[in-house]
Amino acid sequence: MSARVGVILFPGSNCELDCRRSFDALGAEVEMIWHGDVALPDVDLVVLPGGFAHGDYLRTGALARFSPIMDAVAAHAAGGGLVLGICNGFQILCEAGLLPGALKKNVGLKFLCKWTELRVDNADTPFTNRAHAGRRLRIPINHFEGNWYVDDETLRSMKENGQIVLRYTSNPNGSLDDAAGISNATFNVFGLMPHPERACDLLLGSEDGALILGSTLDHVASDARAAV
């Protein structure tokens, strides 16, 4: 059975169709979930897509964390379910306290849409198991607030645990420790600023994003096998 992926649609989201298309192409069963719903359908992975949820007014992700669906997302995460936040989705997960830290304005004070090179520094997670440690990925970023920050103490423990999963090889936004993608302590919630769904087709410039998206599907499949 293929993995079931639920993509949450907030008002102002704009990468939900791209996420659906890229997960579709990898063989997942994708369902769109309205932010106003209070319950999640039966899904293995919840995706918070990029965009400008609620206009990103006040602060990025600040209003979206109060969308009705977010309690169910938190419960899904607490139960060990997989949650993936891409770009704005990452910002929402931080605001919601499901991931540590916060995302500030890029140091250059400009929106940046460009290809970046990432390094996989922890390949032993549900989001990176198709790669090997040290693998370079070519995946684009597209954000104004991607400058991840967390206090020193938390950063130290995150580094020790291997929670800084992806790093930029050339930091585009001032992000602490060159972090591009980070995980919670139990590795079932993952947020990254780069857009893996935009890098699943050589015609568009790269297929490396499929390693990230595909990893989640492999993880679900191996979980299912373990359960049997």
Partner 1 sequence: MRYAAVVDVMPKEGIADPQGQTIEKALPALGYGGVAEIRVGKRIELQLEAAGPDEARERVLEMCERLLANPVIEVYEVTIR
Partner 2 sequence: MTRTDPAPYRALGLTEEEFEAIEHRLGREPTHTELAMFSVMWSEHCSYKSSRVHLRNLPTDGPEILVGPGEGAGVIEVAPGIAVAWKIESHNHPSFVEPFNGAATGIGGIVRDILSMGARPIALLDPLRFGPLDDARTRYIVEEVVHGISAYGNSIGVPTVGGEAVFEECYAENPLVNVACLGVIEDRLMHGRAEGPGNAGVLFGSSTGRDGIGGASVLASAEFDETSLEKRPSVQVGDPFSEKLLIEASLELVRRGLVVGFQDLGAGGISCPASEMTSKAGTGMKVWLDRIHLREADMEPFEVMISESQERMLAVVEPDDVEAVLDVCAKWGLEARVVSEVTKSGRLEVLKGDELIADVPAEALAEEGPVYERRFERPSWIDELQVATSGDDPPEDLAGAFLSVLRSPNVSSKRWIWEQYDHMLFLGTVQGPGADAAVIRLPKGDVAVALTTDGNGRYCYLDPYEGARLAVAEAARNVACTGARPVAITNCLNFGNPEKSDVMWQFVEAVRGIGDACSALGTPVTGGNVSFYNETKGRAIYPTPIIGMLGILERPSASVGLGFRSEGDVIMTAGATSPDDLGGSEYAKVVNGVVAGKPPGLDLDAERALIGFLQEGAASGLLHSAHDPSLGGLVIAIAESGLASDLGFELEASFDHRILFSESPSRAVVTCAPEREVELEGLAERHGVPLARTGLVGGDRFDFGSFSVAKTEATDVFENALPERLAASMSL
Based on CB atoms, which residue is closest to partner 2, 17 or 102? 17
Give the binding range for partner 1 (CB under 8 A) out of 24-32, 101-109, 130-138, 194-202.
101-109
Residue 184 binding partner 2, by CB under 8 A: no
- Reported as half-sphere exposure (CB side, CA atoms, 13 A), residue 40 has a value of 26
Q: Which stretch binds partner 2 (CB under 8 A): 46-54, 64-72, 117-125, 186-194?
A: 46-54
Window contacting partner 1 (CB under 8 A); options: 12-20, 98-106, 164-172, 200-208 = 98-106
Q: Are 214 and 108 in contact (CB under 8 A)?
A: no
Structure tokens given for 42: 């039966």
Q: How far is the CB of 105 from partner 1 (least distance, A)?
A: 6
Q: Which of 201, 207, 218, 223 binds partner 2 (CB under 8 A)?
A: 201
Q: Which two tokens stand for residue 28?
A: 């997942």
Active site residues: 87, 195, 197
Q: Which does 66 bind (CB under 5 to 8 A by kind): partner 2, partner 1, none?
A: partner 1
Facing residues of 47 across strands?
7, 84
Q: Could you say whether residue 26 binds partner 2 (CB under 8 A)?
A: no
For residue 119, CA distances in Å to 22, 128, 168 come to: 21, 11, 6
**Helix crossing, 209-227 with 16-25: angle to 10°?**
60
Secondary structure, 3-state, 78-120? HCCCEEEEECHHHHHHHHCCCCCCEEECCCCCCCEEEEEEEEE
Residue 151 touching partner 1 (CB under 8 A):
yes
Q: Interface residues with partner 1 (CB under 8 A)?
A: 58-59, 62-63, 66, 94-95, 101-102, 104-109, 149-151, 174
